[in-house]
Amino acid sequence: MQGAESSSFASPSTSRYTCLSPAYLHDVRRGMARVLSRLYSGGASYSGSRRAHSFAFGRFAELSAYKKMLYGTLGAAAVAGGCLLYALETSEVEASGIDLHAPHFHWPHSGVIDAFDHNSLRRGYQVYKQVCAACHSLKYIAYRNLVGVTHTEEEAKAEAAAIQVQDGPDENGKMFMRPGKLADYFPKPYPNDAAARAANNGALPPDLSYITLARHGNEHYIFSLLTGYTEAPAGIELRDGQAYNPYFPGGALSMAQQLYDEGVEYEDGTKATVSQMAKDVSEFLSWAAMPEHDSRKRMVIKAVLYFALIYPVVYYAYKFKWSLLKSRKSQYVLLPRPRNRFNPPTSTPSSSAPPSH
Amino acid sequence: MMNSALVDLPAPSNITHFWNFGSLLGVCLMTQIITGIFLAMHYSSSIDLAFDCISHLMRDVQGGWLMRVIHANGASLFFLAFFIHIGRGLYFKSYVLNMTWISGVTIFLMSMMTAFLGYVLPWGQMSFWGATVITNLLSAVPYIGTPLVEWVWGGFSVNNATLTRFFSLHYLLPFVISLLVIVHLTFLHEQKSSNPLGLRLGSDKITFHPYFSLKDLTSLLLIMFMFMMINYTFPFSLMDAENFIPANPMVTPVHIQPEWYFLFAYAILRAIPNKLGGVMALLLSILMLIPLILQSSMKQFNKENQKNMFFWFFVMIFLILTWLGMKPVEEPFLSMSIVSTFFYFSWFFI
């Protein structure tokens, strides 16, 4: 429409523009100057930004020798600095320690939509119960948590019933012992921290509920620690009851090696090697720290499906609405100044009224 | 009013997806408030119960783990959007909208404070020691430093009173931030949005709806999808391992460090050997954003290629400082922190 109006403006033969006064033409010229000055400033800034982009993306050959040398040196310094940072970040040894970082292993639950290996979880529970539970608590895990994960409900009830839990008070005000129920939490090996320290040369065996999240390296670290016992190198002295493990910060660990081949007899007949047991108990402890893990991974699939349905619709609507704006061609039209009481004509107008716009 | 603010609002037609982070920040704030209200229903601000409450929430409350990871990682998304929003403002010189800029910096400071208070609430090792280190910075204030710290603690160390008041403030401040957001938007709509060309032309404006509502929704959906993917697949990757150990005042972690979004300021703090100097540098690392409004009015990009290059140098320094903040205080990281701090502040004077 603007274009059509513009072309009709250029045709003074129409009756609408037969009465152009000099004052009106003067205003048009002033308006044109105004628009041109705006166009100039806009164009200048646009070309400035183009220059900035061309600087970022190329035209290196057009630079002077001095600038080439400067930018080349800066680029080389940036690359060298990046390499140095990468080397520092990936260094296995820090100046503040001599510990080994646990290598990364592929776990059954590592993938984006991979769930835990529940056979492994069940075996891991067996390792925990027969080996770890002697010293380590798992205080945030209840027997009900095992249902549908490692055991059936009946099996979990039987596991719970195998422990004695203090309850009460009864009608006589006395505490009493009863067999465990599904709602009961795993029993603690020691009544309190002081007793735990007293039984372990002053070291407190940590609770294992969050152990894979509470250690740098997560389950990789747990597996490496359980399989990483070795002789202490020369120069490192261990106190009584301590063992050397290069994955443990400082190396001196108050827990001796606990896993040995055939240390447990798996119900499913899996051969109980040290690495198999370490893998199973690490997997079990990962589940203990993240019992919501499998639900999370299921939600990945749901989220992807919903996103795949919704996003194309929204993106299409966005592109559809913007298509007119993106494909438009701007044309600056010279509009005369509106004539009203704020803009009185500079000279006496002709007999007819000024053209409307 | 809603119509003029969200529907018929005239907006420059040429603003890019970088301008979408403002609305993303608004969505983040609302998400944090809503999830936070749900979390507060199951939280007790007692030092004996706080850690167990979080564990209970993660394990026993229906959907509690989702609320918690959205809230915890939502803070990271919030600050990531903040950094991009501020970085866009720096690159395109949005600070010429002086009142909008000042209100934005105030929101940023308040959000940092709120995030710090929230980080203390799980009462893990890093919560406790982070609170101890950061609140101790107040002791650098001359003459009244020690009483000031004890007043903040509500005792002679970080204790139950500290946790209770931190929880109270953490609940309160987001509503103050919401009010500040309204102020920020009011100034923005009064002073009008900046645009990539730096033009002040009043022409070529289009209505906010449907153009920018759809544009914002497009990037919002994409970012939220990626955010939820992180929540579903690696929800604990941004959390410190130490914070899965209950707070223990008798055991100090080997490396005490804040969340990733504070690491640049933390590196600046540690780079200054003097305590008061470090605290001042820490504050100035944010407050230096305010004097930018004194720079000359909106310039075009003529002959500013070097300035653009310096901006990316500043971004690089920011990233290096973030990386240095998580490194132990030893060489070569210490020297690198000092040099990077120097370059960080130099940028504001270029």
Give the model confidence (pLDDT) of B284-333 as tens digits.
998 888 888 777 555 544 456 667 788 888 999 999 999 999 888 888 88
Question: What pLDDT tens digit does each residue of chain A (357 aa) get?
Answer: 333 333 333 333 333 434 455 665 566 556 555 544 544 444 444 444 444 444 444 566 677 787 778 878 888 888 888 888 777 776 655 555 667 888 899 999 999 999 999 999 999 999 999 999 999 999 999 999 999 999 999 999 999 999 999 998 999 999 999 999 999 999 999 999 999 999 988 899 999 999 999 998 999 999 999 999 999 888 888 888 889 999 998 888 999 999 999 889 998 899 999 999 999 999 999 999 999 999 999 999 999 999 999 999 999 999 999 998 888 887 777 777 777 766 666 655 554 455 544
Q: What is the pLDDT of residue B98?
A: 86
Boundary residue ending a domain (B253, B277, B305): B253
Beta-strand pair B10-12/A252-253? unpaired
Kindly state whether residues B245 and B310 are assigned to the same domain.
no
Kindly state whether residues B197 and B280 are assigned to the same domain.
no
Q: What is the CATH number of the domain that holds B319?
A: 1.10.287
Residue boundaries of the structural domains of chain A: 1-38, 118-291
Which runs of consecutive H residues, i.e. helices, occur in B92-200?
Answer: 98-120, 125-136, 145-153, 160-191
Kindly state whether residues B44 and B164 are assigned to the same domain.
yes
Interface pTM (ipTM) of the complex? 0.89
Kindly state whether residues B90 and B179 are assigned to the same domain.
yes
* A314 contacts chain B (CB < 8 A): yes
**Closest chain B C-alpha to A346 CA, distance in angstroms:** 27
Q: Which residues of chain B neighbour A37 with C-beta distances below 8 Å?
A: none
- With CB atoms and an 8 Å threshold, state whether B229 touches A89: no
- With CB atoms and an 8 Å threshold, state whether A52 touches B305: yes
User: What's the Cα-to-Cα distance from B332 to each of A118, A158, A307, B101, B281, rounded to whole Å?
Assistant: 46, 58, 45, 36, 21
For the whole model, what pTM was predicted? 0.82
* B303 contacts chain A (CB < 8 A): yes
Averaged over B222-243, what is the pLDDT? 93
* A88 contacts chain B (CB < 8 A): yes
Residue pair B330/A96 in contact (Cβ under 8 Å)? The answer is yes
Kindly state whether residues B264 and B234 are assigned to the same domain.
no
Active site residue B259: yes
* B229 contacts chain A (CB < 8 A): yes
Q: Which residues pair with A179 in a beta bridge?
A: A164
Highest CATH level, class, for A118-291: mainly alpha
Kindly state whether residues B230 and B285 are assigned to the same domain.
no
- With CB atoms and an 8 Å threshold, state whether B214 touches A318: yes
- With CB atoms and an 8 Å threshold, state whether B214 touches A330: no
Sign of CA dihedral B234, B239, B241, B243: negative
**Closest chain A C-alpha to B176 CA, distance in angstroms:** 33
Q: Which residues of chain A neighbour B300 with C-beta distances below 8 Å?
A: 41, 44-45, 48
pLDDT tens column, A47-77: 444 444 444 445 666 777 877 788 788 888 8
Boundary residue ending a domain (B253, B278, B302): B253
Q: Which of residues 59-88 of B touch A (CB under 8 A)?
A: 59, 65-66
Active site residue B216: yes
Q: Write out chain A in H/E/C secondary structure.
A: CHHHHHHHHCCCCCHHHCCCCHHHHHHHHHHHHHHHHHHHHHHHHHHHHHHHHHHHHCCHHHCCHHHHHHHHHHHHHHHHHHHHHHHHHHCCCCCCCCCCCCCCCCCCCCCCCCCCCHHHHHHHHHHHHHCHHHCCCCCCCEHHHHECCCECHHHHHHHHHCCEEEECCCCCCCCEEEECCCCCECCCCCCCHHHHHHHCCCCCCCCCCCCCCCCCCHHHHHHHHHHCCCCCCCCCCCCCCCEECCCCCCCEECCCCCCCCCCCCCCCCCCCCHHHHHHHHHHHHHHHHCCCHHHHHHHHHHHHHHHHHHHHHHHHHHHHHHHHHHCCCCCCCCCCCCCCCCCCCCCCCCCCCCCCC
Residue pair B98/B295 in contact (Cβ under 8 Å)? The answer is no
d(CA A337, CA A28): 7
* B199 contacts chain A (CB < 8 A): yes
Boundary residue ending a domain (B253, B282, B301): B253
Number of domains in chain B: 2
Q: Which member of B215, B240, B242, B337 is catalytic?
A: B215
Mutate to test the interface with A, among B233, B299, B317 (most CBs of A within 10 A): B233
- With CB atoms and an 8 Å threshold, state whether B217 touches A209: no
Kindly state whether residues B284 and B340 are assigned to the same domain.
yes
**In terms of residue numbers, what domain contains B5?**
1-253
Kindly state whether residues B181 and B134 are assigned to the same domain.
yes
Which runs of consecutive H residues, i.e. helices, occur in B192-330?
Answer: 213-233, 263-271, 275-287, 305-325
Q: Which residues of chain B neighbour A297 with C-beta distances below 8 Å?
A: 232-233
Beta-strand pair A252-253/B205-207? unpaired
Residue pair A149/A287 in contact (Cβ under 8 Å)? The answer is yes
Residue B207, helix vs strand vs coil: strand
Active site residue B331: no
* A177 contacts chain B (CB < 8 A): no
Taking each helix axis from N to C end, the angle separating B305-325 and B64-91, rounded to the nearest 10 degrees, works out to: 150
- With CB atoms and an 8 Å threshold, state whether B196 touches A321: no
pLDDT tens column, A5-50: 333 333 333 334 344 556 655 665 565 555 445 444 444 444 444 4
A-chain residue closest to B255, CA distance: A96
Q: What is the pLDDT of residue A30?
A: 61
Kindly state whether residues B218 and B340 are assigned to the same domain.
no
